[in-house]
Amino acid sequence: MEQNPFQRRPQSRSNSKPNPFRPKWEHRPPSSDLIFGIRAVIEALEAGKEVDKILIRRELSSDLAKELFAVLQGRNVPVQRVPVEKLNAITQKNHQGVIAYAAAIEYQQISNIIPALYEEGKNPLVVVLDGVTDIRNFGAIARTCECAGVNAIVVPSRGGAAANADAIKTSAGALHVIPVCRENSLLDAVKFLKSSGLRVIAATEKAAKDFTAISYKEPIAIVMGSEDVGISDEILRLCDELVSIPVLGTIASLNVSVAAGVLIYEAVKQRR
């Protein structure tokens, strides 16, 4: 029998809720998402395993660690230097000062996607996410993109939400379908899109132009920023159009996943 989603579940005697006063990194991820140990991480990278990020103990400087750094050269993998306490909080196993988070999807490159779309005679529609770090927002945007026929999502290798199991769940599986392009430099990715013939449209509350006042019929890239900071000034200066969505209530702005859906479906409407 299907469970009523609104039915209150009985509480367990043990307190299973995360302690809100503990650092976020102390809430351990599933062990299946982790690769720990220097040699294991090196072998995963050399085998072509997709990795979301790697945590490395700050003081790590052994010969084997130098081998890991050599393997990381030229790879689009975010690396964070962290205290050993953080690593120990994630796993009690012998991590040797290195933990990698295995990616749940296979990332792609926008430089491969756009030429292929043109060769297939398609009219590219791309969404670029600048600083969208909330996993649920990322998943919701991916779901909208897949439903609307968006050709690719472009995200930064650092400063963006990971395509992990929670994001995939929120996306209803869309992240397994739509290409996600993780780029070292989001600025360079936008420059590439412009040089490839796409008009770049940024959604920002600072814009005076209504989002319905422009054409979305040609090849375009829609840029969405984080709700707290917005789109970086460097990327805004590259954009061909700055548009805003009218807000008639007292709250200043829409949730980023909702705003993305509004612009994406304006493109769908015009293209149909």
What CATH superfamily classification does 110-271 receive?
A: SPOUT methyltransferase, trefoil knot domain (3.40.1280.10)
DSSP string, the chain: -PPPTTSPPPPPSS--SPPTTS-GGGSPPPGGGEEESHHHHHHHHHTT--EEEEEEETT---HHHHHHHHHHTT----EEEE-HHHHHHH-SS--TTEEEEE-SS--B-HHHHHHHHHHTT---EEEEEES---HHHHHHHHHHHHHHT--EEEEESSSS----HHHHHHTTTGGGTS-EEEES-HHHHHHHHHHTTPEEEEE-TT--EEGGGS--SSSEEEEEEBTTTBS-HHHHHH-SEEEE----SSSS---HHHHHHHHHHHHHHHH-
Fold of 24-102: 60s Ribosomal Protein L30; Chain: A; (3.30.1330)
pLDDT tens sequence across 49-92 = 888 889 999 989 889 999 999 999 888 888 999 999 999 999 88
| Predicted structure pTM score | 0.80
Q: Which residue, 109, 107, 85, is CA-closest to 97?
A: 85
Q: Would you kindly state where each structural domain of the chain is located, as residue ranges?
A: 24-102, 110-271
Q: Output the pLDDT for position 102.
A: 87
Equal fold, 24-102 vs 110-271: no
Q: Give the pLDDT confidence of 192-251 residue by residue, as tens digits.
A: 999 999 999 999 988 999 999 999 999 999 999 988 889 999 999 999 999 999 999 988
Considering Cα of 112, then 117, then 123, then 128, what sign does the dihedral take? negative
Token code pair at residue 88: 């120990």
**Per-residue pLDDT tens for 2-20?**
444 434 444 444 444 444 4
Q: Specify the pLDDT at position 264.
A: 98
Q: What is the C-alpha to C-alpha distance for residues 202 and 225, in angstroms, rounded to an integer?
A: 8
> What was the pLDDT predicted at 21?
38
Backbone angles phi, psi at 180, to 5 degrees: -110, 120
